[in-house]
């Protein structure tokens, strides 16, 4: 019986999201024979993002064509809102001439990335489910799909937070519930004229706005959660990310939490008369630096969400994905040059990550999420309410001496058990800031 010929590539990249597509682009440009595998029928159809991608990594990877990506709006207005029961205290900043990010639809953006990979010379295989890694003599040397085995010198795993291949490789275990967030999002239709009016955007431009919401769920015990909103050209996204452990412990439904956020008076006004276009959900690895897996082994590397590269504080994930894919591809090209695909060579990947902002930032922020999570009630309920009370006094005129009003406010703020909690909150805040700065 004649044996079936086995295909062979230099590099197989599993997952055609930002990490995988960036890896395929860089590797193909470097002359490697690259296969980019995607289980969905089209890139981006199974992926979700809050709404925006940072522009700096795109400029680095695509210096000649980054402007051509299918952006919706360039985000040059950012607002952070502390939501009380019916109030909002906002910190806002505008960058009218220098947008650092842009809102996107993943279905369009990921497709653009894949087209760039194909233009660079990569082979793209959609609707292809990778069932297993091929491991021989302790080295990953290909993948097994539903139809065939495909060999390669190196496999770059970039298939997301639920990557079974990352676990099969032995590099990663399952993420614990407390280290994982579930993000649910609606995309809602609004005319560009209404968007420009409500978000104070210059008319006739592709400028845009982003908002982040803390609090406002009006629950006796709030989960650790943060809301977000992004403007598209003629739509907005509204969503919330919530800790999985809190969802289970408190018996909450993420869709109900999103409804609560949408019913907050401030948020409700922003999305009034909008029409639901799409609902989506996505798991996010937020264990941070302390929960990072091994990132490489003989013949294999992890990139993007599969490696846990997310900085939740700054809503950074796509930029980590793009750049980690780039570094993985550069490492693979170096390994191909000397024809050594063992971890003794692939350790270059981690060296690149250590020199970059990725591991430096993750290390700096390693205690921040834990500190905030331990102060959930203060962060989600107490401080948003107190901030609103302070500014009601500061901006009001109640025909009462301001000195008396502020004295009452300070007394209420620090009295009883809140004095102890205030000290603990302060310590957690200082610890987080020191960790970032040191």
Tens-of-pLDDT digits for all 438 residues of the chain?
Answer: 344 566 899 999 999 999 999 999 999 999 999 999 999 888 767 777 878 999 999 999 999 999 999 999 999 999 999 999 899 999 999 988 888 999 999 999 999 999 999 999 999 999 999 999 999 999 999 999 998 999 999 999 999 998 999 999 999 988 888 899 999 999 999 999 999 999 999 998 999 999 999 999 999 899 999 999 999 999 999 999 999 999 999 999 999 999 999 999 999 999 999 999 999 999 999 889 999 999 999 999 999 999 999 998 888 899 999 999 999 999 999 999 999 999 999 999 999 999 999 999 999 988 888 888 888 888 888 888 888 888 888 888 877 888 888 888 788 777 755 666 776 776 766 666 656 666
Q: Classify residue 366 by its DSSP letter.
A: T
Residue 157 and residue 184: Cα distance in Å, rounded?
Answer: 25
Q: At what angle do helices 357-364 and 318-338 cross, to 10 degrees?
A: 130
What is the pLDDT, as a whole number, of residue 6?
65
Question: Tokens 């809503």 sit at which residue?
Answer: 315
Beta bridge partners of 101: 54, 75
What is the pLDDT, as a whole number, of residue 417?
57
* Contact of 5 with 67, CB cutoff 8 Å: no
What is the pLDDT, as a whole number, of residue 273?
96
267-287 CB burial, b ≥16 within 10 A, e <16: beebbeebeeeeebebbbbbb
Question: Tokens 């009034």 sit at which residue?
Answer: 272
> Is 85 exposed, middle or buried (CB count within 10 Å of its CB: 0-12, 13-18, 19+)?
middle
Structural element, H or E, at residue 52: strand 52-54
Backbone angles phi, psi at 409, to 5 degrees: -60, -50
Structural element, H or E, at residue 429: helix 417-437
Backbone angles phi, psi at 71, to 5 degrees: -75, 150
Q: Classify residue 199 by its DSSP letter.
A: T
Residue 28 and residue 13: Cα distance in Å, rounded?
Answer: 11
* Contact of 33 with 117, CB cutoff 8 Å: no
Residue 291 and residue 267: Cα distance in Å, rounded?
Answer: 34
Residue 231 and residue 236: Cα distance in Å, rounded?
Answer: 4
What is the pLDDT, as a whole number, of residue 407?
86
Residue 432 and residue 364: Cα distance in Å, rounded?
Answer: 9
Question: Tokens 């795993």 sit at which residue?
Answer: 157
371: helix, strand or coil: helix
What is the pLDDT, as a whole number, of residue 2?
42
Residue 114 and residue 106: Cα distance in Å, rounded?
Answer: 12
What is the pLDDT, as a whole number, of residue 416?
54
11-28 CB burial, b ≥16 within 10 A, e <16: bbbbbbbbbbbbbbbbbb
The angle subtended at Cα 338 by Cα 333 and Cα 342, nearest 5°, is: 80
Q: Would you list the DSSP string of 128-154?
A: --EEEEEEETTEEEEEEESS-EEEEEE
Q: Is 118 left (phi over 0), alpha (psi -120 to 50) or beta?
A: alpha
Q: How many helices (H) and strands (E) does the chain have?
A: 16, 17
Tell how far CA 428 is from the center of its chain: 24
Q: What's the distance, Cα to Cα, between the start and end of the chain in Å?
A: 65
Structural element, H or E, at residue 44: none
Instruction: Of 201, 183, 228, give the one whose Cα is nearest residue 74.
Output: 201
């Amino acid at each position: 019986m004649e044996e079936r010929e086995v295909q062979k590539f230099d590099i197989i990249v599993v997952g055609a999201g930002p990490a995988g597509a960036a890896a395929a682009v860089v590797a193909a440009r470097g002359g490697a024979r690259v296969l980019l595998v995607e289980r969905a029928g089209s890139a981006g159809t199974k992926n979700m993002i809050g709404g925006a991608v940072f522009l700096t990594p795109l400029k680095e990877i695509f210096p000649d064509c980054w402007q051509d990506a299918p952006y919706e709006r360039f985000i040059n207005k950012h607002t952070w809102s502390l939501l009380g029961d019916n109030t909002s205290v906002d910190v806002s900043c505008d960058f009218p001439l220098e947008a650092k990010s842009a809102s996107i639809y993943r279905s369009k953006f990921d497709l653009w990335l894949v087209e760039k990979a194909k233009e660079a010379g990569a082979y793209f295989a959609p609707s292809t489910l990778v069932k297993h890694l091929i491991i021989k003599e302790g080295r990953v040397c290909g993948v097994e799909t539903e139809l065939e085995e495909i060999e390669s010198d190196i496999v770059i795993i970039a298939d997301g937070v639920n990557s079974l291949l990352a676990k099969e490789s032995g590099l990663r275990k399952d993420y614990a519930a407390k280290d994982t967030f579930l993000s649910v999002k609606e995309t809602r239709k609004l005319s560009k004229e209404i968007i420009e009016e409500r978000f104070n955007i210059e008319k006739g431009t592709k400028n845009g706005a982003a908002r982040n919401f803390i609090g406002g769920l009006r629950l006796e015990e709030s989960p650790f959660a943060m809301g977000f909103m992004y403007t598209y050209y003629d739509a907005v996204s509204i969503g919330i990310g919530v800790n999985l452990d809190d969802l289970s412990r408190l018996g909450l439904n993420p869709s109900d939490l999103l409804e609560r956020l949408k019913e907050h008076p401030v948020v409700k006004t922003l999305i009034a008369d909008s029409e639901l276009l799409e609902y989506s959900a996505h798991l996010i690895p937020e264990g941070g630096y302390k929960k990072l897996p091994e990132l490489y082994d003989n013949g294999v590397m992890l990139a993007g969400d599969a490696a846990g590269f997310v900085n939740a504080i700054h809503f950074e994930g796509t930029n980590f994905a793009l750049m980690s894919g780039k570094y993985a591809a550069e490492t693979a090209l170096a390994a191909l040059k000397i024809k050594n695909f063992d971890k003794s060579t692939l350790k270059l990947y981690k060296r690149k990550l250590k020199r970059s902002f990725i591991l430096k930032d993750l290390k700096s922020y390693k205690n921040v999420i834990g500190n905030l999570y331990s102060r959930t009630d203060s962060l989600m309920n107490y401080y948003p309410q107190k901030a609103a009370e302070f500014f009601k006094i500061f901006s009001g005129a109640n025909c009462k001496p301001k000195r008396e009003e502020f004295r009452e406010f300070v007394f209420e703020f620090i009295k009883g058990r809140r004095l102890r909690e205030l000290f603990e909150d302060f310590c957690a805040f200082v610890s987080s800031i020191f960790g970032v700065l040191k």
